[in-house]
Amino acid sequence: SAEAEVAMSIRPAAGASGAELLAQLCQRCHNSQLDQTLSRSQFNVEALELLSRRERDIAIERLRLPASDLRKMPPLTTATLSAAEIAALEAALNGR
């Protein structure tokens, strides 16, 4: 059900802000507890204020990739986002 998908973070909560989407969908894989030798540790949702403009731009680029690209974020196995949700994430990454 849609409610179960929201509870499992497969689908974001309706009307979630960009910051809420980052916390709900991205933070589970991009956080301070992550092995810091992994490349995905460079995008730490818990420390967004410390991300460089380049790191933010890379995240936005990965949100915009086609579903067929293995670098697509979030991975299709974890969540599928609408255009509006991607726009909200981009706005949050741009500090708006």
CA distance 50 to 2: 34
The contacts of residue 7 (CB under 8 Å, 6+ apart) are none
pLDDT in tens, the chain (96 residues): 777 777 776 677 788 899 899 988 888 888 888 777 777 778 888 888 888 999 999 999 999 999 899 999 998 888 888 899 999 999 999 987
Length of the chain: 96
Buried b / exposed e over 27-43, threshold 16 CB at 10 Å, is bebbbeebeeeeeeeeb
pTM, rounded to two decimals: 0.82
The contacts of residue 51 (CB under 8 Å, 6+ apart) are 43, 44, 59
